[in-house]
Structure 1
Amino acid sequence: MFARRLLAISLLLVSSAGVAKKLYKYQDAQGNWHYTDQPPAVDHPGEVRQLKATAKQHVWLEKTADRARPSFFVRNAYPGPIELAVEWGERENVSASPELPQRFVVQSGESGNLFTITPNVGAQSYRMKLQYRYVIGPPLADYVGQTLYQPPLPAGGRFQITQAFNGPFSHNDDQNRYAVDIMMPVDTPIYAARAGVVLEVENDYVGSGTEQAYASKANSIRILHDDGSMAVYAHLALEKAQVHPGLRVRAGEMIGYSGNTGLTTGPHLHFAVQVNRGMELVSVPFQFAGADGQILEPQSGLWLNGYARQ
């Protein structure tokens, strides 16, 4: 008898979106109190409480119904590609074709069969445990950026970079090494620095601080560019994203509002360009373009001017 397969999930830097709801407490015309996660159909006096955001799953490793020789495929709910790595957790009397470990690039939607599990010759039963992890974005081992980025700022605005590349406070790991922090008031409009497709939107996190627990709790928008790189706009305002996953945006199109969520010491926009390099999200150097097309090297203390988009 074949043992049921087990899957151990390890998610590496997948940026799973936080899903949060509100709790509504209100009193109807008859004086009855109601508690629900849906807003009342009409205006009733009451209270609204923001509930804690929870992670949402985007990627599933699934198997076919053939119990003797099951094949495995992936459902990818992101509107863009991921890279998936699958390996044995443990196995007994079983092989895979192609043999594991393997990496697969999976486009948005449901993949075809990626690999098949087969009992070894003469085996009466088998048991196994699979482990998988994924990274958002296509693999780009040798990526070198060639595009100038428009400052993601409103026309007429002037804002200062307070932490640039290799900044000592929080720009000292691979994901953030080539990032900039632009100081600005909460609710400053934010614009796409380059055209692309919105991959994910974090819109429901509340609160900020310098404790490490806030590191993964920043509202953000991730946009995939045509060359496979991705721009990240982070620390955005609660529930004020103006875009949704799958939407194609133009450079200069408004996408949201700045905030003060996640690991911060004060209101600002965190902007970085990232690629998937070797199953790791890493930031890469980039340059801004001024209103007259001049190249602006991101440096701490530099004032950036927003300008009207054509």
Structure 2
Amino acid sequence: MTHGRARPVGWLLAAAAGVALAIALPADAARFWRWKDAQGTPVFGDRPPAGEVDGVQASSFRRSPTDPVGLHVQDRGSHYEVVADNRAPGPVEVQLALARAENVRPVPALPASSVVPAGGKRVLARVYPVDPRMPNAFEVVLDQLPGDPRARPFDFEYRVPFDYGRVRVDQGFGGRFSHNDPQNHYAVDFALPEGTPVLAARGGVILQVESDFERTGLDRERYGGRANYIRILHDDGSMALYAHLKPEGVEVRVGQQVRQGQRIALSGNTGFSTAPHLHFVVQANRGMRLEAIPFRMFGALGELKFARDETGR
């Protein structure tokens, strides 16, 4: 029987954690059937056998509703196609790998990466039996990351992501507390009271939101990759992340187009945090990894200068 596992996009502050797609019977699932033919050879497919066949077993695996890209296996008779289906309003890079292979040969050889366009589908691999007379099985694993690694971000004048006024930065570029990794090196933490309206620093399309996380703490293992946040995709392929938002404080939806200066959320203190603040960073996909990129930002008194933070929060 084929299996699929997908590592959902942990698009927040750290790399995605692996989560197996459980065998279950949810509404949003890929279904597979297994039976034996007249010669006793195991057969599996994405459709039940025609006619009456004894010993047919039906299974399914669930794709998480937070996973923008789902996997489907289609029976083409002589082989199987592994198809990626992107439900996100922006491109997603995926990498397909084999976790188990018995008497099968994938084309292309795995692991292999590809970019699935917004709302599109793509055949990632075709899996052929090596010896059709013998039982065969395989299990595939999908890693996924937002954005297109071919994007080339250009210089842009970002606005301060809240109403103009006093600007206090608690942690700047390279801050040792939590800005010491490639995904957050050029991040800025603005000290804001909880409930402060957050504005879009640049227009774009809402790529992902999280709004129902209520906890906060200094346990990096538990909270390092969790917080309420919004990710906005810009027209040059770069992406801005607004994090540590107030529970139920997100005021936009996935797929919505927003303009620069539009209210999108309320600031908060969720996730790995010492005090209420807004974490802002611009990132780009650099080939199955997110990297922070430097940016220029302007307030009422002109361009903000973000010195490298050597102390951390």
TM-score normalised by L of structure 1: 0.77
1:160-198 alpha-carbon deviations (Å, 9 max, x no partner): 011000001111111111100000111111100011000
Of 56, 66, 71 in structure 2, the residue corresponding to residue 61 of structure 1 is: 71
Q: Determine whether 1:173 maps to 2:173.
A: no
Of 225, 244, 254 in structure 2, the residue corresponding to residue 216 of structure 1 is: 225
Q: Pairwise mapping of residues 197-236 of structure 1 onto structure 2 (< 5 A)?
A: 197-212=205-220, 213-236=222-245
Q: Determine whether 1:5 maps to 2:2.
A: yes
Q: Pairwise mapping of residues 41-190 of structure 1 onto structure 2 (< 5 A)?
A: 56-66=66-76, 68-120=78-130, 123-140=133-150, 143=152, 145-155=154-164, 157-190=165-198
Shift of 1:108: 2.4
Identical-residue share of aligned pairs (%)? 39
Q: Determine whether 1:250 maps to 2:250.
A: no
Paired residues of 1:187 and 1:237 also in contact (CA < 8 A): yes
Letter in 1 for 2:190: I
Letter in 2 for 1:57: D
Aligned-residue CA RMSD (Å)? 2.2
Q: Pairwise mapping of residues 257-296 of structure 1 onto structure 2 (< 5 A)?
A: 257-291=266-300, 294-296=302-304
Paired residues of 1:258 and 1:269 also in contact (CA < 8 A): yes
SS in 2 for 1:267: coil
Partner of 1:26: none
Letter in 2 for 1:276: N
Change (3 A) 1:112 1:55: closer
Change (3 A) 1:176 1:55: farther
1:219-272 alpha-carbon deviations (Å, 9 max, x no partner): 110000001100000111111211110011111111111111111100010000
Shift of 1:140: 4.1
Partner of 2:307: 299
Q: Can you give the 5+ residue segments of structure 1 that lack an aligned partner in the other structure?
A: 17-53, 302-310
Structure 1 window deviating more from structure 2 (201-210 vs 120-129): it is: 120-129
Letter in 1 for 2:172: A
CA distance in structure 1 between the aligned counterparts of 2:150 and 2:269, rounded to whole angstroms: 31
Q: Can you give the 5+ residue segments of structure 2 that lack an aligned partner in the other structure?
A: 17-63
CA distance in structure 1 between the aligned counterparts of 2:202 and 2:148, rounded to whole angstroms: 18
Shift of 1:121: 5.0
Shift of 1:101: 2.0
Shift of 1:81: 0.9
1:279-302 alpha-carbon deviations (Å, 9 max, x no partner): 01111111112447x43322379x
CA distance in structure 2 between the aligned counterparts of 1:76 and 1:63, rounded to whole angstroms: 15
Letter in 1 for 2:185: R
Paired residues of 1:71 and 1:113 also in contact (CA < 8 A): yes
CA distance in structure 1 between the aligned counterparts of 2:132 and 2:254, rounded to whole angstroms: 49
Shift of 1:122: 5.7
Paired residues of 2:102 and 2:137 also in contact (CA < 8 A): yes
CA distance in structure 1 between the aligned counterparts of 2:11 and 2:176, rounded to whole angstroms: 25
Q: Pairwise mapping of residues 190-201 of structure 1 onto structure 2 (< 5 A)?
A: 190-201=198-209
TM-score normalised by L of structure 2: 0.76
Letter in 1 for 2:155: Q
SS in 2 for 1:240: strand
